[in-house]
Amino acid sequence: MALSKTAPQLLTTAPALNIGATLGKALIYQNGPCFISYQNWLTANAMAKPSNVQIVPNKGINYNSINFGLRGGPACKKMGGYMVGATPAQTPTGLKSVYGPRATMLYHALNAPTNLHNWLNASVSCGNKPSAWANTNKFGIPTGGQSYKNPVVLLALLNGGFTPKSPTWGNSFVTLKVVGPTAKTK
């Protein structure tokens, strides 16, 4: 795979919605994930709105197919259940989930198609207040380093791992597909 030698520039204008456009390839720049390429694709095809995009696992891919992001514990398979069964620990809140944050995010991304906005919103840190952990629209993950603009786990799914050391680096596990505005699920 040929890597770009020049840094991509961020697009600032959002053209019309390009329904049916897909992104199912690795976004790698100088051996690392390229958030600007992701943002540019989103801007150029989905009017810069993740709510117009679905995450679709590639053919033959499911949660059991991946070999990265699973060391932090098992996935919480229930939205909003991440802190259920929390145990005492040396954390700001004094509690630690029995689940892995990345495993939880990967599980929900690969049980798709799922709306990218809903997944990103659910994957963003909920903070360290127990009242936020019970929000059924979020995983309840109080840490994890993922942000809405720089979705680390999504880029890992597109790039085949978190680092070039991953044996599947360069092979995408998901495709992003522009579907247009979707009604919020009830």
In one-letter notation, the amino acid at residue 181 is: P
Q: Calculate mean pLDDT across residues 109-138.
A: 73
Which of 3-7, 41-45, 182-186 tops mean pLDDT?
A: 41-45
Residue 5 lies in a domain: no
Mean pLDDT of the residues in the chain:
79
Per 3-state DSSP, the chain is made up of helix, strand and coil in percentages (nearest 5) of 25, 10, 65
Residue 15 lies in a domain: no
Residue 75 has pLDDT above 50, yes or no: yes
Give the count of domains, the chain. 1
Residue 90 lies in a domain: yes
Residue 125's contacts (CB-CB under 8 Å, 6 or more residues apart) are 141, 142, 143, 144, 145, 146
Residue 3 lies in a domain: no
Structure token pair of residue 65: 């197919």
Q: Where are the beta strands (DSSP E) in 24-173?
A: 28-29, 32-33, 53-57, 87-88, 95-96, 114-115
Residue 146's contacts (CB-CB under 8 Å, 6 or more residues apart) are 105, 123, 124, 125, 152, 153
Residue 52 lies in a domain: yes
- DSSP letter (8 states) at residue 183: P
> Which one has a higher pLDDT value, 86 or 101?
101
**pLDDT value at position 52?**
94
**pLDDT value at position 174?**
94
Residue 107 lies in a domain: yes
What separation in angstroms does the CA of 137 have from each of 32, 46, 186? 30, 23, 11
Bond preceding residue 113 cis, omega within 30 of 0: yes
Domain that holds residue 135: 22-63+72-178
